[in-house]
């Protein structure tokens, strides 16, 4: 009994791990449901096979055989039973394999069929963050953001996947399976969320030093909330009106920040690092590495390599009294 308690605890904890904002078994979309169902069918069937095999093995081990049995003497009855058993086993194996193949095929049909979605996104994997472009028929409504995707609930969203440097893999476990992002070609995958919520994704193809810190957050909202968010994201950054943030903006525009980052509505037009126009409205910075707070932004600017060693954000020359206005400016870019 005493041994059973820790065992039960471990099992409970392991099962609790299935719930959460980044779990393929906590399905919140049609594709993820298909995958989760497949997983449970495979676990059930293969688990049964395993238990049967183990039971047969134990039986065979425990059954005592006469010590002086002559292996050359065969009994026709036993031989017949053995042939039957093995034939049935082979037959069942064939049926299982064929059923599994059929199931996989059906699941792939579901996973790779694309419905016409109202929304198309272009997601580009980069070392080590995700660039997200919301496409639209009107060019003025196209905008770019990073590391955070907002989608309307219950609607299929088509995601075009590209990569700029090495192979990455886009994976939102709660919503769908993995899809590689490969330089020089475009892959497509569809996601759909059944319920409003927050789903975390992760690069699933080793892509270098900070592969582990290459997260993405998907936020599923109602259609109205989503439209409100999109209208806001399309707009340029609002110029700050308090002196501290104005100073922060001056610092931002006169430092190396502008070589890579873009803030729409200012002169900063770099295209190789995350768009910071509305960085303050995003939940995380550094591709899911830190939550967006003024302190974290300051830490990220002062010592990016302490937070995320090897990241392409350089350490720059800043005076101590310039950090606060700069962080405050960026935090205020809602």
Partner 1 sequence: MKVYLVLPLVAFALAACEREDREYRANPMTAESQEKIALVPLSAGPSGPTEYRSGLGKEYEENAFHISQGQRFYTWFNCNGCHANGGGGSGPALMDDRWIYGGQIENIVQTIREGRPNGMPSFRRKIPDDQIWEIAAYVRSMGRNVPKAAAPGRKDDMSPGPAEQRRPPGQVIDGGQVPPSAQMPQ
Residue 144 token pair = 């770019």
Residue 189: CB minimum distance to partner 1, A: 24
Q: Of 149 and 214, which has the nearer Cβ to partner 1? A: 214
Q: Of 171 and 252, which has the nearer Cβ to partner 1? A: 252
Q: Of 177 and 325, which has the nearer Cβ to partner 1? A: 325
Interaction of residue 305 with partner 1, rule CB under 8 A = yes
DSSP strands (E only) in the chain: 119-126, 129-134, 143-146, 148-152, 157-163, 168-171, 179-181, 187-191, 197-203, 215-221, 284-285, 290-291
Q: Sign of torsion, CA 143 154 23 115?
A: negative
Q: In sequence order, what are the residues at sequence separation of 6 or more whose Cβ sits closer than 8 angstroms to the Cβ of residue 146?
A: 129, 130, 131, 132, 274, 275, 282, 287
Interaction of residue 272 with partner 1, rule CB under 8 A = yes
Give the C-alpha separation, 196 to 194, whole Å: 7
Phi, psi for residue 152 in degrees, rounded to 5: -75, 145
Contacting residue, 211, 255, 264, 294, with partner 1 by CB under 8 A: 255
Q: Of 107 and 166, which has the nearer Cβ to partner 1? A: 166
Contacting residue, 153, 260, 290, 323, with partner 1 by CB under 8 A: 260
Strand, helix or coil for residue 184: coil
Q: Kindly report the three-state secondary structure assignment for every residue of 279-324.
A: HHHCCEECCCCEECCHHHHHHHHHCHHHHCCCCCCCCCCCCHHHHH
Q: Of 240 and 256, which has the nearer Cβ to partner 1? A: 256
Residue linked to tokens 């931002």: 252
Interaction of residue 290 with partner 1, rule CB under 8 A = no
Contacting residue, 259, 265, 291, 295, with partner 1 by CB under 8 A: 259
Residue 332: CB minimum distance to partner 1, A: 24
Contacting residue, 17, 183, 208, 295, with partner 1 by CB under 8 A: 183
Residue 272: CB minimum distance to partner 1, A: 5
Interaction of residue 258 with partner 1, rule CB under 8 A = yes
Interaction of residue 269 with partner 1, rule CB under 8 A = no
Interaction of residue 254 with partner 1, rule CB under 8 A = yes
Strand partners, 203: 170
- Segment interacting with partner 1, rule: CB under 8 A, options 54-62, 193-201, 211-219, 302-310: 302-310
> What part of residues 21-50 is at the interface with partner 1 (CB under 8 A)?
none
Rg, Å, the chain Cα set:
28
C-beta of residue 170 within 8 angstroms of C-beta of residue 189: yes
> Which residues make up the interface to partner 1 (CB under 8 A)?
183-184, 254-256, 258-260, 272, 303, 305-306, 309-310, 314-318
């Amino acid at each position: 009994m005493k041994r059973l308690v820790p065992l039960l605890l471990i099992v409970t904890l392991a099962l609790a791990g299935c719930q959460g904002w980044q779990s393929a078994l906590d399905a919140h979309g049609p594709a993820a449901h298909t995958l989760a169902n497949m997983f449970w069918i495979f676990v059930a069937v293969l688990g049964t096979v395993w238990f049967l095999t183990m039971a047969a093995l134990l039986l065979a081990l425990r059954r005592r055989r006469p010590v002086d049995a002559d292996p050359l003497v065969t009994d026709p009855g036993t031989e017949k039973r053995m042939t039957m058993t093995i034939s049935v086993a082979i037959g069942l194996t064939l049926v299982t394999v064929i059923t599994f193949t059929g199931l996989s095929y059906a699941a792939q049909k579901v996973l790779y069929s694309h419905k016409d979605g109202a929304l198309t996104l272009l997601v580009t994997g980069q070392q080590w963050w995700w660039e997200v472009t919301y496409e639209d028929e009107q060019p003025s409504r196209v905008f770019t953001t990073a590391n955070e995707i907002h989608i309307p609930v219950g609607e299929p969203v088509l995601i075009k996947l590209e990569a700029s440097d090495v192979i990455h893999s886009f994976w939102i476990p709660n919503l769908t399976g993995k899809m590689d992002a490969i330089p020089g070609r475009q892959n497509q995958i569809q996601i759909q969320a059944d319920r409003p919520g927050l789903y975390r994704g992760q690069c699933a193809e080793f892509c270098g030093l900070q592969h582990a810190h290459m997260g993405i957050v998907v936020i599923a909202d109602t259609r109205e909330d989503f439209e409100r968010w999109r209208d806001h994201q399309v707009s340029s950054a609002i110029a700050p009106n308090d002196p501290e943030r104005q100073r922060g903006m001056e610092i931002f525009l006169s430092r190396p920040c502008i070589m890579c980052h873009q803030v729409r509505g200012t002169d900063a037009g770099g295209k190789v690092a995350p768009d910071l126009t509305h960085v303050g409205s995003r939940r995380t910075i550094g591709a899911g590495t830190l939550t967006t707070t003024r302190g974290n932004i300051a830490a990220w600017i002062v010592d990016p390599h302490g937070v995320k060693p090897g990241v392409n954000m350089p350490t720059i020359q800043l005076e101590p009294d310039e950090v606060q206005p700069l962080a405050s400016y960026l935090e205020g870019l809602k």
